Amino acid sequence: MANRLAREHVDINSGRIGVDGMQFDIDLAGPADGALVLFLHGFPQSKFAWRHELRPLAAAGYRAAAPNQRGYSPGARPGGLSDYGTQNLVADVFAIADALGAETFHLVGHDWGGALAWLAAAKAPDRLLSLTVLSRPHPDAFARALAETADQAHRSRHHKAFLNPETEALFLADNARRFRKMLASHDLPAADIDAYLEVLGTEDALGAAVNWYRAAGGNLTAKNSATANGLGPITVPTLYIWGDEDNSVGPDAANWTADFVDADYTFHRIAGVGHFITDQRPGVVAEPLLIHLMRNSG
């Protein structure tokens, strides 16, 4: 009871942070001197996806930070397609941590944010105290599943659909009917969908978010987003969380992720949950995440 009350009295402060000439909208909670936990959202979401995680972490003494990433923040929406290449998106991760004064930090990512988290862990493992990824498997496990199973190719078929230059207009037409249908099909309530549309409800905003896919050529495999030889093993303590009803990531890629982590590794499988874990099962991530963070706080 005391812990729950402590969480309820934690303030989440919304503001902006300047990074490399851009302004990122960000939610912050917890003591300024706490170890930073940086949250990266996926598509088609926003920092709102982490609303159930910020308070528990802040109550435990961590500095929890959830930005709207490049393209999602109006002040961080460059116009060129190449601006949304993964190298720039990963650079943002470390630049935001720098702006928050964190030399080392814990990194948490879901979906596209998870893909960036894997890449960041490979790029600068010395800067990460721990890695937590929701839904998105290690890029090499994902590439293997795409190559070896028809199931994963079927689950990932939507990636290339986003290359259509009319995507944003189609998804926002008729009061964003297709956008709403896409998330409602994952059992997200209307209020959550409205919250995401507050960020992505214009063609400029949704187009910038979809540019992540366009710049990556429609897929997120290691061959596309890292090197021709794959990303290689991750050497950061890793927690991987996957819902067994995820229609975007099959069990093969999820199970094979263990083969590509050369560090302490925990696979936390959640029964009866799909791709949008934090929305579909509010609060379910906080406990395993806190255990992982405490184990790796140094």
pLDDT higher than 90, residue 154: no
3-state secondary structure of 137: coil
Query: What domain range is 104 assigned to?
Result: 2-153+220-295
pLDDT tens-digit map of 220-267: 554 444 444 689 999 999 999 999 999 989 999 999 999 999 999 999
pLDDT higher than 60, residue 32: yes
pLDDT tens-digit map of 3-28: 553 556 789 999 999 999 999 999 99
User: How much of the chain exceeds pLDDT 90, in percent?
Assistant: 84
Whether residue 206 is contained in a domain is answered as no
pLDDT higher than 60, residue 126: yes
Whether residue 121 is contained in a domain is answered as yes
What sign for the dihedral angle of Cα 270, 276, 278, 280? negative
Whether residue 283 is contained in a domain is answered as yes
Tally of helices (H runs) and strands (E runs) in the chain: 14, 8
DSSP strand pairing (63-67 vs 22-29): antiparallel
Q: For the stretch 145-160, what's the b/e string if a residue is b when 16 or more beta carbons lie within 10 angstroms of its beta carbon?
A: bbeeeeebeebbeebe
Whether residue 190 is contained in a domain is answered as no
- Round the average pLDDT of the chain to a whole number and report it: 92
pTM of the complete model: 0.94
Query: What CATH number has the domain bearing residue 231?
Result: 3.40.50.1820
Total number of domains constituting the chain: 1
Whether residue 7 is contained in a domain is answered as yes
